[in-house]
Amino acid sequence: MEEKKPLEVLYHSTRGMGEPVKASQAILKGLAEDGGLFVPDHVPALDRSLGELAEMDYGQTAYEVMKLFLTDFTREELEDCIGKAYDAKFDTKELTPLVEAGGVWYLELFHGPTIAFKDMALSILPHLMLTAARKNQSQEEIVILTATSGDTGKAALAGFAGVEGTKIIVFYPKSGVSPIQERQMVTQKGENTLVVGIHGNFDDAQTGVKKIFSDRKLGGEMEAAGLRFSSANSINIGRLVPQIVYYVHAYGKLLRKGRITEGEPINVVVPTGNFGNILAAYYAKKMGLPIGKLICASNENRVLYDFLRTGTYDRRREFVLTSSPSMDILVSSNLERLVYHIGGEDGPGTRALMEALSGRGCYDITEGMRAELSDFYGGYASQEETAAEIDRLYREWGYVVDTHTAVASAVYRKYLQDTGDRGAAVVASTASPFKFTRSVMGALSEKAAGTGESSDCERDFALADELSRLSGVKVPQAVEEIRTAPVVHCRECDVAQMEKVVREFLGI
């Protein structure tokens, strides 16, 4: 049977400048030249029935979703990338198990090599990028430049380390990640890798990286040296598109299990930081997947909660370091894409709002745009509520979740109270509890909690063993392998020195 060729999807900037580009070019560039983010010119509809999708495994679902967005990739190319990404690097054949606890479905997205959901996209991004480079006859070496709140960094390092034709530089907030997260990054092997702790928070790192990206002078020197920057952050559509897959796959699984009927809407709850994961769910809904509410869960950095409630985005507030560090973010990059879509795809309008954000530190959306946000529900959970939720899930259901997942789970309980909406719900479970053992164990038992601010990882490893005994879950390989691994990166710098550090590493 011949496959119908889907309508080509082109990508253009949220800020309205420049020519539209093909998917492979958008993946190579990462960020548009005017500083905007690439968005698809239309969101393609799923062309398989929900019943058909229910019969597919993860790889097949990935193909069905990705072929619709990455229209200039051939079937062979996509299948090759999918095959290389979703293999024995994952510790379960299922890839993304759905676990029920207390009538809620936890979609475990942390079974990849670095035990956070970022692996779902970052294990395929290097393959998409190399394929994209080949397709565009690009001879330049790809330099991945990434800011991380903890999980992207390691997942990107794991994906790109040792990959020929690439280099990767990761900036993380020196005092803003968990001990295990830091150890994972600074033990990363590979000649082509550089890991640097900055004296600042994630937003500083992200702003610094964006600045380096849009520095024309540096760009020119890079070109002359045969180098080209790209991004592994969720601003890259090569990361966003693979994230749509697990929502589609989860729906199919619930259908196959007979837990929902075909077409029945499900609510999706996402612990949110940079707005990438929940934006993927939004695109899944736009593709026709029956999703009811998109429940956006924040921690005490509740800038998105306030935005959804008031229509004002205001980053001028205190930055709180919480027990869910991967969500400690005040400038959620991917929100720019949503703002663009709800504002009638108005490039100059989006540009004005984003300029207000970087200038004044805030912007307001119109009433019309607010009306377009009715698919979303915003909530937040304090650190106390988060800890209580970890404890409750363990006591009542014997199920241990990490702090980020617990934020989402706590917000979902508020949603239930608020709305009484008892529809099936899927909570995106974004990290293994073993990645945040100190906070998780602290939530579970008084005894294990807080013995100061020791940056020493040993305590976390001992806690991991204890967590394993309590939960009956084996300590993941990702934690085992860093117990004894030597530290190979110890570079630190101020935000103002980021460009200098990049230049040194690249020799330009």
Per CB under 6 A, residues contacting ligand PLP are 116, 118, 151, 234, 271-277, 326-327, 404, 430-431
- Shortest spacing between CB 404 and ligand PLP, in angstroms: 4
Query: Cβ–Cβ contacts within 10 Å for residue 464, how many?
Result: 24
Distance, CA of 291 to CA of 334 (rounded, Å): 20
Q: Rank residues 278 and 463 by Cβ distance to ligand PLP and give the closer one.
A: 278
Q: Rank residues 128 and 335 by Cβ distance to ligand PLP and give the closer one.
A: 335
- Shortest spacing between CB 149 and ligand PLP, in angstroms: 6
Q: Rank residues 22 and 118 by Cβ distance to ligand PLP and give the closer one.
A: 118
- Shortest spacing between CB 401 and ligand PLP, in angstroms: 11
Q: Rank residues 213 and 436 by Cβ distance to ligand PLP and give the closer one.
A: 436
- Shortest spacing between CB 103 and ligand PLP, in angstroms: 22
Query: Cβ–Cβ contacts within 10 Å for residue 110, how many?
Result: 29
Q: Are 178 and 149 in contact (CB under 8 A)?
A: no
What distances in angstroms separate CA 395 from CA 414, 445, 470, one per listed residue? 19, 11, 11
Is residue 20 exposed (0-12), middle (13-18) or buried (19+ Cβ within 10 Å)? middle
Q: Rank residues 254 and 296 by Cβ distance to ligand PLP and give the closer one.
A: 296
- Shortest spacing between CB 276 and ligand PLP, in angstroms: 3
Q: Are 140 and 167 in contact (CB under 8 A)?
A: no
- Shortest spacing between CB 420 and ligand PLP, in angstroms: 27
Q: Rank residues 108 and 151 by Cβ distance to ligand PLP and give the closer one.
A: 151
Closest by CA position to 60, among listed 213, 245, 194, 211: 245
Parallel, antiparallel, or unpaired for β 141-147 and 166-173?
parallel
Is residue 138 exposed (0-12), middle (13-18) or buried (19+ Cβ within 10 Å)? middle
- Shortest spacing between CB 324 and ligand PLP, in angstroms: 7
Q: Rank residues 38 and 73 by Cβ distance to ligand PLP and give the closer one.
A: 38
Q: Rank residues 169 and 327 by Cβ distance to ligand PLP and give the closer one.
A: 327
Distance, CA of 183 to CA of 172 (rounded, Å): 12
Tokens representing residue 504 in the block: 């040194």
Q: Rank residues 192 and 234 by Cβ distance to ligand PLP and give the closer one.
A: 234
- Shortest spacing between CB 503 and ligand PLP, in angstroms: 28
Distance, CA of 464 to CA of 466 (rounded, Å): 5
- Shortest spacing between CB 430 and ligand PLP, in angstroms: 3
Tokens representing residue 177 in the block: 């990640």
The residue behind tokens 């085992």 is 480
Closest by CA position to 483, among listed 451, 440, 437: 437
Closest by CA position to 310, among listed 299, 302, 321, 300: 302
First to last CA, the chain: 53
Parallel, antiparallel, or unpaired for β 266-271 and 425-429?
parallel
